[in-house]
Structure 1
Amino acid sequence: MENENVNLTESTEVTEANSDKNKKKPINWKKEIISWAIIVVIAFVLAIFITEVVIMKAEIVSGSMMPALTKDDHVIGNRLAYLFSDPQRGDVIFFEYPKSYKELYEIDPELTYCKDPDLGDTKACYHQNSEVYVKRIIGLPGEKIVIKGGLVYINDAEVPLDEPYLRNKPKGDFGPFYVPEDCYFCMGDNRNGSNDARYWENDIDNPTDPDYDPDRFRYVHKDKIYAKAALKTPPDMHWVEHYRYENEPTK
């Protein structure tokens, strides 16, 4: 009988101990709120870092880069692509339109999509009052560019630049253009429907001014390159092709 009482007491103590373990501790709401606040802040900082330092998103608003990029395409660019290397011929880049664009905002400074009636070109805006173009690099710093019958000749080469990414046969004669140091000569793949370096002239200053430079806005400075186009987002998701020329133009 005495053993039964001992066992009963031990059983009761074990049950009570298990019951204490199963009891839920009260939630410390202050601690929970602080923890979630820290997570939200970290996520926000990471998002800002990624979008401002690592990648750039742009929407194509015309067909001047067809067939590589078409109207309404959404493209992600790599902002770090040229951190340790220089842009190459054939790269598709996001850059600031070389020509002064203050006049584009005189009517409506709150424009979200930059549409200038005199340009009608591939332009993408990643935030208000900032105009971004998407083009392919054709001419490198120090090169001479001449376009004859739509074909590009670099440094007086006898053979024109091979451009298999062009859908239609380009037209027109342009140049010569002399690309300055740290600058690039850029054109659209839809050569007959692209407003690019062939047409970017200084047309807002007085041509009679002795300091007038007709090529002031023609070339893209390396510092104005925002990113290298990398990926088209769904539904037509694929990597953006950056053409590499087997035989670089020579004299």
Structure 2
Amino acid sequence: MYAPAVSEDKITGRPFYRSKGFELLVLIVVGVVVAAGVRAYLLQTFYIPSGSMENTLLLNDKVLVNKVLYRFRDPHRGEVVVFEPPASWGAGPGEQEYIKRIIGVGGDHVICCDPQNRLTVNGQALDENYLFPGDTPSDDKFDVTVPDGRIFVMGDHRSDSADSRAHLDSDQGTVPVGRIAGRAFAIYWPVSRWSALSVPSTFDKVP
């Protein structure tokens, strides 16, 4: 004759708040709260919806974005950032976020192009080996001095990127630093593309 099934709580006489089931529930709740806090204040994930950053970032890649970095320091040239475009770019508030590479920061003089068809920043030519194969640095010519508190951004797939060059008539195409959501620092999906998004060494030479 089989004894009827009895819950562990009834066998041990432990109240529910001390049971394994309750402990698991608490762990789940704490995990959700921590994850929500991390997403809101520390890290966020974004997927790539277009080819404007190829081949650095491919369509549907997913990236990790550091949301707190720029609370402690200014953005640097060469970093890949996620930002909300200015209203003058034609996107409504919160409608869409862009991901581009910072070419110039406040005070920088960015020119396209020198006699060798290279971008220059503060007179230093950039060796942009991260560009999409076959692309030139830019088909559009420009001469921009980036205002303080703003950045000048471009996609790595220059022929398929609506970036600062497309909005030169409004604040010289620059983006307020306050609109940056954070720095994209790694590709985490798909697994085959795990990699860090480091700053190209050519930016180290810019004075």
Per the normalisation by structure 1, the TM-score is 0.67
CA contact (8 A) 2:69 2:182 kept: yes
Which residue number corresponds to residue 77 of structure 2? 89
Q: Secondary structure at the match of 1:82?
A: helix
2:146 partner letter: V
Identity level (%): 27
Q: Which runs of 5+ in 1 are unaligned?
A: 1-22, 106-128, 202-213
The 1:241–1:148 alpha-carbon spacing in structure 2 relative to 1, beyond 3 Å, is same
Question: 2:109: which partner in 1?
Answer: 144
Residues 102 and 154, structure 2, Cα contact 8 Å, conserved in 1: yes
User: Aligned runs of 1:56-75 on 2, under 5 Å?
Assistant: 56-75=44-63
Q: Which residue of 1 aligns with 2:174?
A: 219
Conserved in 2, the CA contact under 8 Å of 1:55 and 1:76? yes
Between the aligned partners of 1:56 and 1:46, the Cα distance in structure 2 is 13
In 2, the alpha carbon distance for the partners of 1:246 and 1:74 equals: 25
Structure 2: 5+ residue stretches without partners? 1-9
The structure carrying a bigger helix percent of its residues is 2
CA contact (8 A) 1:99 1:200 kept: no
Greater radius of gyration (CA):
1
Q: 209, 228, 236: which one pairs with 2:183?
A: 228
Instruction: Note the aligned Cα RMSD (angstroms).
Output: 2.6
Supply the distance in 1 between the matched residues of 2:14 and 2:39 (Cα, whole angstroms): 36
Report the equivalent of 2:135: 169
TM-score normalised to structure 2 length: 0.80
Deviations 1:138-178 (A, max 9, x none): 011112222127521223x2x52221211333142422112
Q: What is the correspondence of 1:88-107 to structure 2 with a 5 Å cutoff?
A: 88-100=76-88
Using a 3 Å threshold, how does the CA distance of structure 1 residues 193 and 52 change in structure 2: closer, same or farther? Answer: same
Query: 1:219 Cα deviation (Å)?
Result: 1.2
Q: Say if 2:13 is the partner of 1:29.
A: no
Q: Aligned residue for 2:5?
A: none
Deviates more, 1:52-61 or 1:35-44: 35-44
Runs of 4+ in 1 over 3 A off after TM superposition: 30-38, 99-105
Confirm whether residue 187 of structure 1 aligns to residue 174 of structure 2: no
Judge conservation of contact 2:140–2:165 (CA < 8 Å) in 1.
no
Task: Kindly provide the CA deviation profile for residues 64-86 of structure 1, in whole angstroms up to 9, marking residues without a partner as x.
Answer: 11110011111111112223222
**Is the aligned partner of 1:52 residue 2:40?**
yes
Measure how far apart 1:96 and its partner are: 1.0
Change in Cα spacing, 1:104 to 1:220, as seen in structure 2 (3 Å) is closer
Aligned to 1:43, the other structure's residue is in SS state: helix
Quote the offset at 1:90 in angstroms: 0.7
Compared CA separation, residues 169 and 101, structure 1 to 2 (3 A): closer
- Give 1:247 shift: 5.2
* CA offsets 1:162-217 (integer angstroms, 9 cap, x no match): 2121133314242211211011100001111111000025xxxxxxxxxxxx3248
Q: Secondary structure at the match of 1:226?
A: strand
The one-letter code matched in structure 2 to 1:28 is P
Q: Which residue identity does 1:191 align to in structure 2?
A: R
In the alignment of these two chains, the number of paired residues is 191
Contact 1:185 1:218 in 2 (8 A): yes
User: Structure 1 residues 103, 94: closer, same or farther in 2, change over 3 A?
Assistant: closer
